[in-house]
Amino acid sequence: MQLTFLGTSAGRPTKERNVTSIALSLPEPLNGFWLFDAGEGTQHRLMGSKLKLNKLEHIFITHLHGDHVYGLPGLLSSRSYFDGAGPLKLFGPSGIRAFVEGVFKLSGTHLAYELDIVEIAPGEIMDDGRFKVEAAELDHRMPCYGYRITEYPQPGQLNLSRLAELGVPPGPLYGKLKHGQDVTLESGGIIHAADVVGPQVPGRIITVLGDTCPCDNAIKLAMDSDLLVHEGTFAPGMEEKARAYGHSTVLQAAQIAALAKVKQLVLTHFSSRFDDHAITTLVEAAREAFPNTVAACDYMDVNIPKPIG
């Protein structure tokens, strides 16, 4: 699994950073991706990546501020021009349906695929058997959500040498064993899955938060995550301004990461007042509270490796 940061600026784009959007590439054999927010210009950023719109399966919108949604109508429209673009689910707060359908009605836009718009409430919003997604409200100037993506444990590795010793032919029997089913050979011998399959591989947890002041739900969503994406709009010492605008400082984000016992923190959504040199300094301050902190930049990829079973 991999996160690709398509936009890392807050409020408005800069020459170096577009406004918010993050892509989550799913593990093989799925080969699709999900999108979190779609600020203006997101489809242009996608054209500079390896991601293709016909592989986009779900979009999760944190809130309806323009720097998180103004790129959505154009992206949805352009997806119609990609061969093989199947049904798409769009998750977001109340109002996301009126926003999208209003733009499409006024612009005469028609999609060539099925779009399912889901206006969410706190709690579990999706479970496809491979991933579960939970949402909770954050502390911002308008209704805003964070998302916790939990990957279910995966079957362990097959012991190929042991299977060969037992005379199990490659093919469908391998698949049954890998999924925990005992099998019977043509000779009548019974092969027990527990004898030839390693322990389950734990799933990964990724938390992507929208704009927020420090709050309890940020900690709950992020608890024990392999990776937390948290906004870092302001510098330490700017807590009053951050509170007034419904945001966090990089130090506050690091403190949330520490309280939630996450493995890695990626900061994004930086105020346009900060250039790259200043952001480097901000990250150094954040690392005092949470050492494993990095600053996102546009087109940065962050891999989330499989835990060791």
In which band, very low, low, confident or very high, does the pLDDT at 29 lie, cut at 50, 70 and 90? confident
Is 67 among the residues known to form the active site? yes
**Widest Cα–Cα separation across the chain:** 75
Q: What is the predicted pLDDT for the residue at 309?
A: 54
For residue 215, pLDDT over 70 is answered with yes
Q: Tell me: is residue 179 an annotated ligand-binding position.
A: no
pLDDT, tens digit, for every residue of 128-145?
999 999 999 999 999 999
CA 107/CA 40 separation, integer angstroms: 17
Q: Is 67 annotated as a binding residue?
A: yes
Q: Is residue 269 a known part of a binding site?
A: yes
Q: What is the pLDDT of residue 38?
A: 98
Domain boundaries, the chain: 2-154+200-303, 160-196
Say if residue 276 carries a ligand binding annotation.
no
DSSP H stretches of helix in the chain = 42-47, 66-69, 72-79, 96-107, 160-165, 172-178, 193-196, 216-222, 239-245, 250-260, 276-286
Residue 309 DSSP SS3: coil
pLDDT digits (tens, 9 = 90+) for 53-110: 999 999 999 999 999 999 999 999 999 999 999 999 999 999 999 999 999 999 999 9
Q: Which of 67, 127, 216, 224 is catalytic?
A: 67
pTM equals 0.90
pLDDT tens track for 156-202: 788 888 888 888 888 888 888 877 888 888 888 888 888 888 887 88
Burial of 287 (0-12, 13-18, 19+ CB in 10 A): middle
Is 277 annotated among the ligand-binding residues?
no
Give the tokens for residue 143. Answer: 């209704």
Which CATH superfamily groups domain 2-154+200-303?
Answer: Ribonuclease Z/Hydroxyacylglutathione hydrolase-like (3.60.15.10)
pLDDT of the residue at 223: 98
